[in-house]
Amino acid sequence: MPNYFSPSSSPLQPLQALAKELEARRLGATIDASVSVVDAYVLPDSSRWQQGLRRACAHYTQRAILRPDPVNAHPWWWLLWPGERFNNETVEPEVIRLLPVEEIDETARRIRNILILDSTE
């Protein structure tokens, strides 16, 4: 298992590793290193674009946040669940602890499953 937080490693390494794993699963991924976030999204396929579902595809995004565990300070992936309420009101997002930083493959697999279930692929 790689050590993503060794003194010689870049703080971007786990973010880049997750983005790469998401892309290997045919998802799009963007990184915002300033807040340690990876956004995963369903890539539009040509049939969806032709069917006029561009707007629907834009809603299929899942945000993974890299934050320390509050007890032992070890970095974990957390999922941000904004929910439908963000469309109509300002509310705090729900953040749910997912997996330790080292479990990049499983984190990407779970995010893909969330997005695919939501996108009706």
pTM of the model: 0.77
Query: Lowest mean pLDDT: which of 71-75, 87-91, 96-100?
Result: 87-91
- Tokens encoding 104: 């990049």
Cα–Cα dist 58/43, whole Å: 9
3-state helix, strand, coil in the chain (%, to 5): 35, 30, 35
Cα–Cα dist 14/81, whole Å: 21
The yes-or-no verdict on residue 79 having pLDDT over 90 is yes
The yes-or-no verdict on residue 52 having pLDDT over 70 is no
